[in-house]
């Protein structure tokens, strides 16, 4: 399996809502190519189509809206090849160039589901579309970022508790 939670989170979080508007990092060819190559992909049109589809499916799987089997197509034809060099044995993921990055993302999800069960989840701020991978010992992280969503949610709860009662 591929231990790459950063790739998984980057893909899941590639459609943030900023100032009330969605910014899709895979939305157009130029930004999608830049995102893919920054994460080890080829940046081809075919790869971007596959990444967009896998992103939607991973989102639905993580949210519990679809079964993991929906991701099976991303692993068709994928295999690992042993590579022996001066550092020892390692395994190389082998598939077509357009399928490699989406397959790595699905394998990263499978790794997280196995090794960090229940720790990949959506941000607790309902207005946020981002996901987090809770690595805390207590497994109680609620927000994608304490600096943004955490502060907003805490301030909102404080205001609700302390707001003046409306005059009747």
What are the tens digits of pLDDT across the range 69-84? 999 999 999 999 999 9
Asked if residue 48 has pLDDT above 70, the reply is yes
Q: Taking a C-beta distance cutoff of 8 angstroms, is the pair 116, 60 a contact? A: no
Reading phi first (left if > 0) and then psi (alpha if -120 to 50, else beta), residue 20 is in left
Average pLDDT, whole number, for the chain? 87
pTM, entire model:
0.83
What is each CA distance from 73 to 15, 16, 103, in whole angstroms? 22, 26, 9
Rounded to an integer, the average pLDDT of 144-167 is 60
Instruction: Give the separation between CA 118 and CA 140, rounded to whole angstroms.
Output: 11
DSSP state, residue 61: H
């Amino acid at each position: 399996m591929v231990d790459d939670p950063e790739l998984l989170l980057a893909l899941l979080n590639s459609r943030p809502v900023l100032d009330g508007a969605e910014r899709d990092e895979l939305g157009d060819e130029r930004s999608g190519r830049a995102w893919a190559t920054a994460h080890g992909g080829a940046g081809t049109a075919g790869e971007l189509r596959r990444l967009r589809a896998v992103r939607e499916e991973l989102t639905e799987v993580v949210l519990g809206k679809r079964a993991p089997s929906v991701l099976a197509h991303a692993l068709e034809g994928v295999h690992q090849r042993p590579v022996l060099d001066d550092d020892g044995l390692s395994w190389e993921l082998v598939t077509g160039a357009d399928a490699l990055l989406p397959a790595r993302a699905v394998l990263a999800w499978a790794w997280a589901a196995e090794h960090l069960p229940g720790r990949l989840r959506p941000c607790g701020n309902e207005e946020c579309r981002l996901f987090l991978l809770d690595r805390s010992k207590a497994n109680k992280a609620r927000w994608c970022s304490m600096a943004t969503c955490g502060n907003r949610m805490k301030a909102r709860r404080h205001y609700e508790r302390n707001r003046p009662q409306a005059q009747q």
